[in-house]
Amino acid sequence: MYNFKLDTSNLEKLEKDHGFRQQSIKRAWIAITTFFLEKGTNARFKYWPDDVTDVNTTGYSGYGIKELIILDPDHIKGKAEDNLILLTVVLNDGIKDFIYKSMQEDHIMNSTFFHFDILDETDASIYTSHDFGENVLMYLTESGFEKLSSQHIAESDLISLPETIEVINQEHEL
């Protein structure tokens, strides 16, 4: 269930504050993702199998998948719609460190990962980042909203959804 969205709207590239706004969005994405990495127990990544290569190339859905598999030997693979593979990993220290390091890489996208969810102890998604961080939905309690607002995230960057969006889990184990 999601009740907030990160405002990732940006000015036109030719407008003077475009770069500043993009940096602001990325900082907010990093702070929000970090907040949920600390709250979550597992993460689920979606990727196309043909995108997993020997080289970690940003801009492809397979970025980091091999490393995540190594960092969690007990990972679970499943199948989603559109021939996407689901990789579920425990958010252990190694996985978190790998994600944190990817946040610092120099790239133009908010995220190096194509699509991932952060799950709570009931396996429900509490945060989802799609399209390399361009589409971010989350479930925030009132205290979570206040905590994020106190971390230099403008309240206007967190858009309250008029109705809660329910998540339908359509995972099929491989």
Per residue in 120-153, pLDDT (tens digit) is: 999 999 999 999 889 999 999 889 989 988 887 8
Greater model confidence, 72 or 173: 72
Please tell me the pTM assigned to this model: 0.85
| pLDDT, position 97 | 97
**pLDDT, tens only, 40-90:** 999 999 998 888 865 666 558 888 999 999 999 999 999 998 889 999 999
Map out the domains of the chain as residue ranges. Answer: 2-173
Task: Give the DSSP per-residue string, the chain.
Answer: -EEEEE------TTSTTHHHHHHHHHHHHHHHHHHHHHH-SEEEEEE-GGG--SS--TTSTTTTHHHHHHH-TT-EEEE-GGG-EEEEEE--HHHHHHHHHHHHS--SSS-SSSEEEEE-TTS-EEEEEEGGGTEEEE---HHHHHHHHTTT--GGGEEEEEEEEPP----EE-
Q: Which of 15-19, 64-68, 115-119, 155-159 has the lowest mean pLDDT?
A: 15-19
| pLDDT, position 152 | 74
